[in-house]
Structure 1
Amino acid sequence: MTEQYIYEVTVDVDVTILDAWKTWIVDHVNHIVNLEKGNLFSKSNIFEVNTGLLDPTTCTKGRPISFVIQYWATSANSIPTYIQKYSDELRKDGLEKFGDKMKASRRVLVEKKSIHNPPQTSTFGYVF
């Protein structure tokens, strides 16, 4: 199996800028995925963290909302290339627009194993 590299950004967004940030982040992520004609990242996913499903007693009213953005690298070299050539300018763009109303952290994930359900049909169950 070829290793899949994922550049992951977690962002805590202040509720006072949430609507503007949600609009901006889609364009921002689209721009990143299209860098170098799409040769750095093949796709990206934007997730909102939902802590209420794990603990319904959690109150998030007024607290920052967390998002996770995953960029699927086309190769092991894509992430260092992105960081060296583009990340400073793109981070600056977010900071100029939203200042300290958003906080980001980053990490790189390396997929080691992908596990899937066996194929199934509605009549016969598992297909081998």
Structure 2
Amino acid sequence: MYIYNVTINIDDSIHEEFLIWIKKHIPDVLATGKFTEARLVQVLVEEEMGGTTYAVQYTAESKDALEAYYEEDAPRLREEGMKKFADKMLGFRTELKIIQDFNA
């Protein structure tokens, strides 16, 4: 399995609006059928640039599902956030491959 991790720093001026939007955006990403689940987390570091940082972790069953998302859905879904928040957010994306899960 793979995790598609999107980390976004949000300017304080749009913080509340962003949280409302992202909670609607995540189900739109899941509706593509490329991911099985998602988790929204706050990154607990104080950024020099200010703002608040969040990460959204989407779980994909395969690399093929992730590649299909990039090709079929990502441009449209990324554009939505960029149009809405433009220079008030800064993000980056990483891919993680799950090697093994452990439970207590």
**TM-score using structure 2 length:** 0.92
Runs of 4+ in 1 over 4 A off after TM superposition: none
Q: Aligned equivalents of 1:71 and 1:6: distance in 2? A: 5
What residue ranges of structure 1 are gaps of 5+ in the alignment?
Answer: 52-57, 118-128
Q: Supply the distance in 2 between the matched residues of 1:88 and 1:111 (Cα, whole angstroms).
A: 25
Give 1:114's aligned residue.
101
Identity within the alignment, %: 27
2:8 aligns with 11
- Show the counterpart of 1:34: 31
Separation in 2 of the partners of 1:99 and 1:115?
A: 39
Q: Partner letter of residue 48 of structure 1?
A: Q
- Tell me, what secondary structure is at the counterpart of 1:68? strand
Alignment of 1:1-128 (within 5 A): 4-35=1-32, 38=33, 40-51=34-45, 63-117=50-104
Q: Please report the RMSD computed on the Cα atoms of aligned residues, expressed in angstroms.
A: 1.7
Larger Rg: 1
Residue 103 of structure 2 aligns to a residue whose secondary structure is coil
The size of the alignment, in residue pairs, is: 104
For 2:41, the aligned partner's letter is: F
Q: Which runs of 5+ in 2 are unaligned?
A: none
Q: How far off is 1:74 after superposition?
A: 2.5
Deviation of 1:21 after TM superposition, in Å, equals 0.3
